[in-house]
Structure 1
Amino acid sequence: MSVLALCTNRRGSVAVEFAVISVLLIVFMFFLTDLVVRNATTGRLDRVAYSVAGIVRERVQLYDAREKLNQGDVDQIAKLAARMLTDMDLDADLSKLQLVVEELHFEDITSIGSTRKDIDLYRRWQSGSAGGCTPPQALNQLTQLAPKGSYGRWVPLYQVTICLPTTSWYTWLTTSSTENPQLSSFAIVMAR
């Protein structure tokens, strides 16, 4: 068989085209599956961050009217977040779950018409494996979010950030990277 006859022979062309297209379809399916899994995990993290932030917000009812956090509070919150994520997905690997809680308190202002917001206390608490779990923006840079309460004081703010490394087939397939991408979610609330 000559080269010219091989190039012009149409027998088996469908099988060759199917082989080429199937490789592209498999890569596309990996991408779509990875995208769906990442979005589902991000949605779970969003729900847990918002729920945990709601607990932090209820300082008066749940923590004997103590507005300021301590490390024990943050560790309890991290255990609760892990439990909530376990309830959502039994197969989730939560060994690298990280939680960062920030609190921001303002100085009491005696004059009614004052608009000054002086920071009295800013603390950042972390629970879980040490690492790169950071909020998109530190809470002490978001003072404009604090409203003035009915008693004439600026309301304290809390920010909860949850980070969880996840497996990414698409990242592994395209970059051969051994590091798992980290998904994160955050919620900002004010004390009641």
Structure 2
Amino acid sequence: MKDSLKINPQMRIKFFSSNEKGSVAIEFVLIMIVLAILFAFMADLVFVRSTLGKLDNASYSLVNVLRERNRLTIDSETNSTDAGASETNVQDTGASKTTLADERKITNKELVTFKKLASQILYGKGHDHNDVMIVLEQLTFTGATSSTLTTLGDTSKCKPSTTLDRRANLSPRSEANGERKIPLYQVTVCMETGSGLFRALVADDSAKSNGMLRSTSLAVSR
């Protein structure tokens, strides 16, 4: 039989096609490979979605703190004044509140503070925040069309999905002064996630920046 197989190639093909020895083992290996790929894909999908949820929560929380920081600072200064202040002084404080809210710019000190807050939201207290990056943006308006964009953070690695100046049309007009547009704030949080087989596939372009996952949130100043 072996000699005939060596001589006749057609008989050799027929012999191997009809021989079922070891077919179960081969099928088992193929199924395990498919299952391993499926499990790896599901694990990356769960990881990416979970991480993006944390980033969304962090960026949304921080942008709300950022837009309220003027009010929080001014309110603390107001509470520390003399309780017997006259009504005129109280009205002056309210006027200065509006002025400070319009003119105060974000600072590098605030950038460091917000980076620490982002790290604590994502990982909890006591975590080194070197793998967390943050970009703060502020868009103020001096007229109906003139605007000034202030950006702080490492934009070379953590780029916002859309810069804030491109979203200037989202700024509403003030109810007190119809010609005055309300300042806008935007926070982008990026985080290193390591490598994964399918992480580049399960995350869309708006959630990626230079190999990191990111989330961007926008808010209107108060």
Measured against the shorter chain, the TM-score band is 0.7 to 0.9
Partner deviation per Cα, 1:91-150 (whole Å, 9 max, x = no partner): x87422110011010015xxxxxxx3221x2110116xx742111111112110000112
1:150 and 2:175 equivalent? yes
Instruction: Tell me how far apart the structure 1 counterparts of residues 51 and 151 of structure 2 sit (CA, whole Å).
Output: 25
Aligned match of 2:119: 82
1:123 and 2:145 equivalent? no
How much identity, in percent, do the aligned residues show? 30
Q: TM-score, normalised by structure 2?
A: 0.70
Structure 2: gaps of 5 or more residues: 6-11, 75-96, 202-209
Instruction: Tell me how far apart the structure 2 counterparts of residues 8 and 38 of structure 1 sit (CA, whole Å).
Output: 47
User: Which of structure 1's runs of 4+ aligned residues deviate more than 6 A?
Assistant: none
Aligned match of 1:168: 195
Aligned match of 1:113: none
Instruction: Tell me how far apart the structure 2 counterparts of residues 27 and 143 of structure 1 sit (CA, whole Å).
Output: 44
Structure 1 or 2, whichever has the larger Rg, is 2
User: Quick one: structure 1 residues 8 and 94, their matched pair in 2 at CA, closer, same or farther if it must change by over 3 Å?
Assistant: farther
Q: TM-score, normalised by structure 1?
A: 0.80
Q: How many residues align?
A: 174
Aligned match of 1:111: none
Q: Cα offset for 1:13?
A: 1.2
Aligned match of 1:136: 161
Residue identity matched to 1:151: A
1:7 and 2:13 equivalent? no
Instruction: Tell me how far apart the structure 2 counterparts of residues 165 and 87 of structure 1 sit (CA, whole Å).
Output: 16
Partner deviation per Cα, 1:58-82 (whole Å, 9 max, x = no partner): 0332233543211111211111111
Residue identity matched to 1:186: T
Is the contact between residue 172 and residue 181 of structure 2 (CA under 8 Å) also seen in structure 1? Answer: yes
Please show how residues 1-192 of structure 1 align to structure 2 within 5 Å.
Answer: 3=12, 4-64=14-74, 65=97, 66-67=100-101, 68-87=105-124, 94-108=129-143, 116-119=144-147, 121-126=148-153, 131-152=156-177, 153-171=180-198, 181-192=211-222
Is the contact between residue 49 and residue 161 of structure 1 (CA under 8 Å) also seen in structure 2? Answer: yes
Instruction: Tell me how far apart the structure 2 counterparts of residues 156 and 58 of structure 1 sit (CA, whole Å).
Output: 12
Q: Cα offset for 1:11?
A: 2.9
Name the structure with the higher helix share.
2
Instruction: Tell me how far apart the structure 1 counterparts of residues 172 and 130 of structure 2 sit (CA, whole Å).
Output: 37
Residue identity matched to 1:184: R
Instruction: Tell me how far apart the structure 1 counterparts of residues 162 and 196 of structure 2 sit (CA, whole Å).
Output: 29
Alignment partner of 1:44: what SS? helix
Is the contact between residue 138 and residue 183 of structure 2 (CA under 8 Å) also seen in structure 1? Answer: yes
